[in-house]
Structure 1
Amino acid sequence: MNKKRIILFSFLLAGLHVTSWSQSYQKTDNGIKARIQGTDVEVQFYTPQIVRIIKAPAGSTAMEKSLAVIAAPQKKLRLVIGEEKDELTVLTQSVVVKLNRQTAAIRFYDKNAALLLKEKENGTHFSPSADPPLYDVVQTFQLEGGESIYGLGQHQSGVMDQRGQQLLLKQNNMQIAVPFFQSIKGYGVLWDNNSTTHFKDDADGTSFQSEVGAGVDYYFIQGGNADKVIAGYRQLTGEAPLFPRWTLGYWQSRERYKSQYETNEVVRKYRELHVPLDGIVQDWQYWGEDESYWNSTEFGNPRFPEPKKMVDSVHDHHAHIIISVWPSFGNKTKIYEAFKQQNLLFGKYVTWPINENVEVYDAFNPHARDIYWSYMNKNIFSIGIDGWWLDSTEPDHFKDKESDEAYQTFLGAYRKVRNAFPLIHTGGVYKHQREVTGNKRVFILARSAFSGQQRFGTMMWSGDVVSGWNVFRKQISGGLNLSLSGLPYWNSDIGGFFSGRNYPGGVSDAAFRELYVRWLQFGTFCPMMRSHGTDTPREIYQFGAKGDWAYDAIEKFINLRYRFLPYNYSNAWEVAAGGTMMRALMMDFPTDKKVLNIDNEYMFGKSMLVCPVTDSMYTSRANGNTAVDLKTIKKQKLYLPAGTQWFDFWTGEKLAGDQEVEKEAPIDIMPLYVKAGSIIPMGPFQQYTDEKKPDALEIRIYEGADGKFTLYEDEGDNYNYEKRICTFIDFEWNDKARTLTIKDRKGSFPGMLQNRTFNVVVVKKGNGTGMEVPGKFDRVITYTGKAVTTKIP
């Protein structure tokens, strides 16, 4: 750091406010404004770590209010502003911003004067757009050679590191556009533009180019690591609320259950088989098969004569139900007529089978969102439906693909706001339900998302993917990059949506059964575990009965999902507090260069290393027939990251990090490893998430390092947790002293356990790891809410 920067930081740390005036710039409450070479530039600090950069042609139209960003700049920030011949400098205790007074190019440094990111000289461009007086806008950055970046939504290209990629950020089935990336250097860039955007990284630089905008508008977030970058992103765009506990159970779905009897029978059958289940999904055409009544939000299909009775039956079986609702409506529906009378429709839509008498509502109009919810509330929510499957949230299937961008919305031409449709659409449902009741947490399953959508209680899924091993593997990097885009909740259709293309025999084909089992194992370690698809049914009993290899493997992993419920729900609380559940390896091992582009492993929470099996091992095809060989056990190669030791979850064997290993992977085993120093609570075997009280949790300790874990609990399905009506129990393992300390319980909630038992197991090879509950524990602790420490020899 040169002397001038040292002096500036010294002034800042001493609490002094340095001001340097010049005719060439203007000081603002949160930074500076300047006019350079015909461009108006503003540097605006939102927090000491977050900087907004605005650039526009001199005197042009002001920036419109952001749809993604909801934060306001902090008041009374301590800024230091310095003026040099060629540069203006604005800095806080965390970030230094330098603005070139000749070219308007900006550079960002950390507090130690290390360069983090710089704009390319003359890398800002404006040209006339199709929506005057707005512009086609471009900003190009120059990244360091070898610098890995992640995020940009979900793109099924099968890569983790987005360097060298060219991506069209335009909402579509199977492609989720989020104009945000973060760097392995510990910073992020949020490009605040709602129009179709082209991302490109090549020898000329790293650029965002948006088709419509008042100017360049982006946020630089300095975090130091991935978790803090995401925390900064959510500070700008909103925190992710906590989902109901039941959403962490197992979900069964199909395209589609064709009667209320069929829906209820699936739930009844799971209970009869004693296979855990918490959710059932009712897909489309409950409104009837005449497409003029498309998405009426009413049960018009005669096969659903008593919808409330259907919902009540699901609840009587201790399960929950969500239902499909679209953003488009047939021309004979009451809701269509309500929209049409007030000119609140904006685009012709093509459904299946082809029907052109369907139109999309203008979600950007607040009154249209009111009408949308009023019909959902009156016809669906009122009978007890627990959540929403908002399908086609892009939306896609417009009749006229060439001119759809010219459709007019409440906020202007659709081209200007198209990527934000899922954000506004889901936001309307979230806000309205919360106004109706706080006793039922909002749960939305959506196919698309945009910056900030995490604040609306939305779980994304990867779209209508095809059943296939290569597609399956690409789900992993797609979901991880979406998580690195700040949107923490994601899943995929277990087994792939379209099975008939590669597996016309469906569940009768052993090759499909193998793919389905492996995909379900992966789904066990996703934020939502949900089976869904078309062409062939997916319920567990379609795969045989107890004793059949596919059935047994499916049942084993569904049970494992429930055993991990205390761990998963505690991690869900961490998400609500700014964390990430499904974690790319670079988040926890940023200095291990071997992990930077690994696309088939990840952390689930900060303790579990997951390596899905994404290749066929036990079935083969020849002459149109499928052969099965389960006796010859195959192995899966995987890498154990450096800097820690690892325990094989299934055997308890301890292994060193920084090595590639081969793990035996019979059909009912997916490689799982636990980081040394982890403390993992495991719950009881149960049929649904609230069947049994967690009064005797198994606490697994993985020695070799000090460890901490916070067990989070609350009522499970209301918003009292926002008032801190919940509990936290901190566990700490001192590896050298071999002591476990369980601290005083913090907080309370109605119905909480006053006293409970913690059965402690220090995991080692052969002492009851994997799915088995040990017959003997290292310690049995009776806990009354007061701190206790025990030593384990």
Structure 2
Amino acid sequence: MRGNLSLKKKKNGKLTWKTALGLMAMATFSYCSGQVTAQNLHPTYTKIQNGIILPIHQANNGAQFLKLQFVSPDILHVMAKPDTNFALHNSIMTLSQPLKPVEFQISHQKGGRLLLLKSTQLQATVDLVTGQIRYLDKDGKTLLEETSKDARSLDPVAIGEPGYYSVVQQFNNLQNAPLYGLGGNQLGYTDMRGKDLEMIQYNSNVFNPLLVSTGHFGIFWNNTSITYYGHPEQFRFLESLQLFDKNGKAGGLTATYISDSSRPRESFSRRESSIGYQFAKDTAALPEAFVMNTKSKVIWEGQISSSEPKAVHDFILKFGGYIKVWLDNKQVADWWRQAWNPAEVPFQLEMEPDKKYNIKVVWSPDGAASFAAIRQKKAAHDTDRQIRFHSEAGKQIDYFVLTGQNIDSLISGYRLLTGRAPLMPKWAYGFWQSKEHYNSQQEILETAAEFRKRQIPIDNIVQDWYYWKKDDWGSQRFDADRYPDPAKMISELHQTYNLHFMISVWPKFYQGSRYFKTFWDHNWLYKQNVNENRQDWMGYVSTFYDAFNPEAGKAFWDIVRDNIYSKGVDAWWLDATEPDIVDNITNERRMELMTPTYSGAPQINFNAFALAQDKTFYTEQRKADPNKRVFILTRSATGGAQHYAASTWSGDIGATWQEMHRQIATGISFSMTGIPYWSMDIGGFAVESKYQHLTPALKAAWQELQTRWFQFGTFSPIFRSHGQAPAREMFHTASKGEPAYQSMRYYDQLRYRLMPYIYSLGAATYFKDYTLMRGLAMDFSYDPTATEISDAFMFGPALLIEPVTTAGATTKKVYLPKPEKGAGNWYCLYDGKSFKGGQSITAEAPYERMPVFVPAGTILPLGPVTQHTTPLSDSLDLYIYQGSDGHFTLYQDQGTTYDYEKGDFQKIAMHYEDQSGRLLIDSATGSYTGPGSGPKTFLIHLVSPQNPVGIDSKSPATKVVRYQGQALELQLR
């Protein structure tokens, strides 16, 4: 018989979809045992608001009950659990918001074995025997299905909290459609098919469990514990293969240790069954006679073999220092990375059974704390189309399936669940100068003055860490000896230089610092690191506060507000928010150092520390200063970070060409996960010691790297230069007449010329859930060549960005995506030369320029070069690229307030009709009447193959028109 479930409304008359999850315990079920038939399957579900809950007849692996509930017509929330006590509070990532009614139908198929739920956009069939779910679009086309065998499992885990499970969910990607997202990995991956990720926040790796596909589906995995994506087989150290030393003897590789490379005769060798110095604790296994320093070296040589059938094997190299790897006599890695923040590099080798393959690894540690490890496993088969999530702790299997016409609509669904991305202050879209670190008030003011003197556009200067007294980390107070009057300093930046000021705030307290005892006594700190008396790199015992504790968060904000915000600070840099209490320790040790948390065992919300702190800063600043836009830069993020005005940067990467190249894929993947504001340290953060004393050759190499990286960074959502010495200001990198200086200044000015376009994209991000940095799959999903590209991206709809990431290169092979209809043209941004779409070309890339192309149909607004962001100019150039229809909406508002949320903005929509050659400019909408809202002069440049006009051309405008705010219709040809 059918169970009954009535949902009672809360006192305010609203039922939230979070609340509905917790009411399922009221349901009771009964069904006939014995043979499964249509007759005894029909009664087994109970209808609830927007969905159902039902038992599974042949449930295994702990998933006895399912709950399916529409959040919207194109989003279905799915949960599985051993009982009906579905968690009331299901995630810190999702917003608690009213559950709006969704019309849906329930019917039976295949003689009653399948139960069909159908909204206007999304369908799901549930096999009432096995519980397998298949997802279909509104027309009945299959999008995705759970695997038929072992689709899900829940295994109880002992984490000191009752009712938690290790949860696994598997899907079949039946279409074999490309998959994107999951955050900003540092492995160079964009298409996640067949890839493996350990999704745990740490320096340089940021994960958000949203997966989107060109197959019109997305999966938001609603879990904030450590999560593993990909094949269930785990990476293992090399002893999982057969190893042979350089003399062919089985059992291990030959490891040669050299403590001083200038005295190689003093080396010694031993046989080792692994290369496994992965974490700080592992280096204790190095030979006692080996002294690890900048002159030391280790060489592993020999052969590897596998007894398994022929297969591709995936390898992961983790290292700090200099390392080179050869497999099968081919070099597969040649990298440097700072010792204290190891990097990972993937590579592959196809191995035949029992065949020996040569291996050689040369590792040169870069200091006394370096790391080197290689792990491997057999790669998933090419036809393996499974999607698999495995989280260490959850009260239930919990995920959302989304559908939409394109990736933008999937991201829009994600933001419905986790919150919209607010419009950042306009100055945040300009150029930022940072370094590690400004050391005094005088240095900051002198730097600001130099930028203005040289007329280098800039909007924000950043104070990184260590502005406090050396032993007072956590005080959030300036060292008065170096910063005698920080309020006056910030006022001078504002008033004299039209600059904004961002400051680094760490969730870290030194033992004995000003507020340490108060936080300790209130149990607001993680105490284990202090109990172990572990010192940081500055020589002091420290720990972090518990960001999940609302009282601790409020107390921390109060300290920051009184000591920093009150002095006029404009934005927050929330650093080390993984949290990074100690570098390069195991996951288990990290959780030990986070015990206990306010939200329970550290496993539960391990990946959400940054989110908790972002929320506190966002909500508290809006309380303290309701109409001043919040801006947060954070090193970690997960689902929902965008809702709290958080931008994320890719962490402490190294200043190398390889790292620069990987940032393209990192930014694409992160942006396609729904958090639109991403940044990197332009130029790379950590620097090889050789660059501290620049010879002419090293200076030239440094300048080229910085120039190419700056060109790329111009087109990232947040345009920010940062890093260790050498000094990062462009006037310290190169002299005024040098090509590096000229190029960086050109691109800085170009960013400000593009500000009408960029700020309008920022508005579209808020109003239309848009994404600024766009993998090519977002706009050219129909072009299989484009969807595979990971070293180029669209910056908004108008600009195809092709960073140059090879030293000495003066050309780059560029693929110009084909249009959805017709031949279609692409145009060089600088000179207007045209090229047919759907082909690869060798693009010119001289030292001072990076290839940038514009698709036909683009309307691109440009303003004048300004020294900082200003209201929209009353004279704008409009470049219109012939060959397709196009549209663009120009946006402006006050720039720093939240009045836009109440309609105080101006929008001017423009439409180009290619066949007729007409440009239609709509009447201005919105209530904004402030600076920049008056009449406009549009200088219109019609670009075509017959009229190649670039933004650097001096050609006169095709047409000049005065726009008074009323609709115009212009004939351009």
Shorter-chain TM-score bucket reads over 0.9
Instruction: State the distance in 2 between where 1:733 and 1:352 align.
Output: 59
Q: Deviations over 1:368-419 (max 9, x none)?
A: 1111111111111111010001011111133875443241111101111110
The structure 1 segments of at least 4 consecutive aligned residues displaced by more than 6 Å after TM superposition are 765-768
Count of residue pairs the alignment pairs up: 756
- The structure-2 alpha-carbon separation of the partners of 1:109 and 1:61, relative to structure 1 and needing over 3 Å to count, comes to closer
**2:655 is aligned with 1:473:** no
Q: 1:225 aligns with which of 406, 424, 444?
A: 406
Q: Contact conserved, 2:691 with 2:726, CA < 8 A, in 1?
A: no
**2:458 is aligned with 1:277:** yes
Instruction: State the distance in 2 between where 1:157 and 1:697 align.
Output: 41
Normalised TM-score (structure 1): 0.92
**2:963 is aligned with 1:783:** yes
Q: Contact conserved, 2:511 with 2:540, CA < 8 A, in 1?
A: no
Q: Deviations over 1:198-231 (max 9, x none)?
A: 0014438221000011110000011121010000
Find the counterpart in structure 2 of residue 568 from structure 1.
Answer: 758
**2:851 is aligned with 1:636:** no
The within-5 A match list for 1:547-562 is 547-562=737-752
Q: Contact conserved, 1:351 with 1:397, CA < 8 A, in 2?
A: no
- The structure-2 alpha-carbon separation of the partners of 1:720 and 1:204, relative to structure 1 and needing over 3 Å to count, comes to closer
Q: 1:97 aligns with which of 114, 118, 124?
A: 124
Q: 2:435 aligns with which of 232, 247, 254?
A: 254
Q: Deviations over 1:433-452 (max 9, x none)?
A: 01111332100111110001
Instruction: State the distance in 1 between where 2:95 and 2:872 align.
Output: 39
**2:891 is aligned with 1:720:** no
Q: Deviations over 1:603-630 (max 9, x none)?
A: 0001111100011116xxxxxxxxxxxx
Instruction: State the distance in 1 between where 2:476 and 2:140 align.
Output: 57
Find the counterpart in structure 1 of residue 825 from structure 2.
Answer: 645
Q: Deviations over 1:695-750 (max 9, x none)?
A: 10111111111111100000000000000100000111111221212111111324
Deviation at residue 459 of structure 1 after TM alignment: 0.9
Find the counterpart in structure 2 of residue 69 from structure 1.
Answer: 94
Instruction: State the distance in 1 between where 2:843 and 2:858 align.
Output: 21
Find the counterpart in structure 1 of residue 774 from structure 2.
Answer: 583
> Which SS does the other structure have where 1:125 is aligned?
strand
Q: Contact conserved, 2:434 with 2:722, CA < 8 A, in 1?
A: yes
The within-5 A match list for 1:296-315 is 296-315=475-494
> Which SS does the other structure have where 1:512 is aligned?
helix
Instruction: State the distance in 1 between where 2:405 and 2:514 align.
Output: 53
Deviation at residue 506 of structure 1 after TM alignment: 5.8
Q: State which drifts further: 297-306 or 678-687.
A: 297-306
Deviation at residue 522 of structure 1 after TM alignment: 0.6
Q: Deviations over 1:642-695 (max 9, x none)?
A: 1132111111111110000011111111000001010010011111112x7501
> Which SS does the other structure have where 2:573 is aligned?
strand
Find the counterpart in structure 1 of residue 943 from structure 2.
Answer: 763
> Which SS does the other structure have where 1:536 is aligned?
coil
Q: 2:524 aligns with which of 344, 367, 373?
A: 344
> Which SS does the other structure have where 1:334 is aligned?
coil
> Which SS does the other structure have where 1:89 is aligned?
strand
Letter aligned with residue 448 of structure 2: V
- The structure-2 alpha-carbon separation of the partners of 1:773 and 1:385, relative to structure 1 and needing over 3 Å to count, comes to farther
- The structure-2 alpha-carbon separation of the partners of 1:670 and 1:588, relative to structure 1 and needing over 3 Å to count, comes to same
Letter aligned with residue 551 of structure 1: Y
Find the counterpart in structure 1 of residue 544 from structure 2.
Answer: 360
Q: Deviations over 1:476-507 (max 9, x none)?
A: 11111111111111011011001225744469
Find the counterpart in structure 2 of residue 134 from structure 1.
Answer: 164
Deviation at residue 333 of structure 1 after TM alignment: 2.7
Deviation at residue 769 of structure 1 after TM alignment: 4.3
Instruction: State the distance in 2 between where 1:767 and 1:371 align.
Output: 63
**2:202 is aligned with 1:172:** yes
Deviation at residue 133 of structure 1 after TM alignment: 2.6
**2:683 is aligned with 1:495:** yes
Q: State which drifts further: 328-337 or 762-771.
A: 762-771
Instruction: State the distance in 1 between where 2:70 and 2:971 align.
Output: 50
> Which SS does the other structure have where 2:461 is aligned?
strand
Instruction: State the distance in 1 between where 2:474 and 2:845 align.
Output: 45
Deviation at residue 770 of structure 1 after TM alignment: 4.2
Instruction: State the distance in 1 between where 2:197 and 2:639 align.
Output: 16
Instruction: State the distance in 2 between where 1:685 and 1:59 align.
Output: 62
Q: Contact conserved, 1:128 with 1:136, CA < 8 A, in 2?
A: yes
Q: 1:242 aligns with which of 423, 445, 459?
A: 423
> Which SS does the other structure have where 2:850 is aligned?
coil
Q: Contact conserved, 2:756 with 2:872, CA < 8 A, in 1?
A: no
- The structure-2 alpha-carbon separation of the partners of 1:111 and 1:693, relative to structure 1 and needing over 3 Å to count, comes to closer
Instruction: State the distance in 2 between where 1:482 and 1:449 align.
Output: 10
Deviation at residue 69 of structure 1 after TM alignment: 1.0
Q: State which drifts further: 762-771 or 194-203.
A: 762-771
Deviation at residue 535 of structure 1 after TM alignment: 2.7
Letter aligned with residue 378 of structure 1: D
Q: State which drifts further: 435-444 or 139-148.
A: 139-148
Normalised TM-score (structure 2): 0.76
Letter aligned with residue 89 of structure 1: L
Q: State which drifts further: 711-720 or 198-207.
A: 198-207
Q: Contact conserved, 1:323 with 1:385, CA < 8 A, in 2?
A: yes
Q: Deviations over 1:750-774 (max 9, x none)?
A: 4243212111111246978445364
Q: Deviations over 1:277-302 (max 9, x none)?
A: 11100011111222xx1131111251
Q: Contact conserved, 2:892 with 2:907, CA < 8 A, in 1?
A: yes
- The structure-2 alpha-carbon separation of the partners of 1:161 and 1:111, relative to structure 1 and needing over 3 Å to count, comes to same
Q: 1:113 aligns with which of 140, 149, 152?
A: 140
Find the counterpart in structure 1 of residue 361 from structure 2.
Answer: none
Instruction: State the distance in 1 between where 2:385 and 2:713 align.
Output: 39
Q: Contact conserved, 1:506 with 1:536, CA < 8 A, in 2?
A: no
Letter aligned with residue 125 of structure 2: K
Find the counterpart in structure 2 of residue 418 from structure 1.
Answer: 606
Instruction: State the distance in 1 between where 2:675 and 2:579 align.
Output: 19
Instruction: State the distance in 2 between where 1:29 and 1:515 align.
Output: 57
- The structure-2 alpha-carbon separation of the partners of 1:561 and 1:75, relative to structure 1 and needing over 3 Å to count, comes to closer
Letter aligned with residue 65 of structure 2: D
Find the counterpart in structure 1 of residue 347 from structure 2.
Answer: none
**2:908 is aligned with 1:729:** yes
Find the counterpart in structure 1 of residue 370 from structure 2.
Answer: none
Deviation at residue 180 of structure 1 after TM alignment: 1.3
Find the counterpart in structure 2 of residue 522 from structure 1.
Answer: 712
Q: Contact conserved, 1:69 with 1:236, CA < 8 A, in 2?
A: yes
Instruction: State the distance in 1 between where 2:692 and 2:158 align.
Output: 46
Q: 1:152 aligns with which of 159, 182, 202?
A: 182
Q: Contact conserved, 1:285 with 1:301, CA < 8 A, in 2?
A: no
Instruction: State the distance in 1 between where 2:55 and 2:693 align.
Output: 66
- The structure-2 alpha-carbon separation of the partners of 1:375 and 1:599, relative to structure 1 and needing over 3 Å to count, comes to same
Letter aligned with residue 123 of structure 1: A
> Which SS does the other structure have where 1:221 is aligned?
strand
**2:446 is aligned with 1:265:** yes
- The structure-2 alpha-carbon separation of the partners of 1:351 and 1:545, relative to structure 1 and needing over 3 Å to count, comes to farther
- The structure-2 alpha-carbon separation of the partners of 1:207 and 1:21, relative to structure 1 and needing over 3 Å to count, comes to closer
Deviation at residue 783 of structure 1 after TM alignment: 1.1
Instruction: State the distance in 1 between where 2:657 and 2:673 align.
Output: 25
> Which SS does the other structure have where 2:911 is aligned?
strand
Q: 1:606 aligns with which of 797, 802, 821?
A: 797
Which of these two proteins has the greater Rg computed from alpha carbons?
Answer: 2
Instruction: State the distance in 2 between where 1:558 and 1:765 align.
Output: 28
Q: 2:703 aligns with which of 513, 517, 520?
A: 513
Instruction: State the distance in 2 between where 1:777 and 1:727 align.
Output: 25
Find the counterpart in structure 2 of residue 596 from structure 1.
Answer: 787
Identity of aligned residues (%): 37
Find the counterpart in structure 2 of residue 464 from structure 1.
Answer: 652
> Which SS does the other structure have where 1:746 is aligned?
coil
Q: 1:663 aligns with which of 815, 824, 843?
A: 843
Q: 2:626 aligns with which of 424, 427, 438?
A: 438
> Which SS does the other structure have where 2:713 is aligned?
helix
Letter aligned with residue 91 of structure 2: S
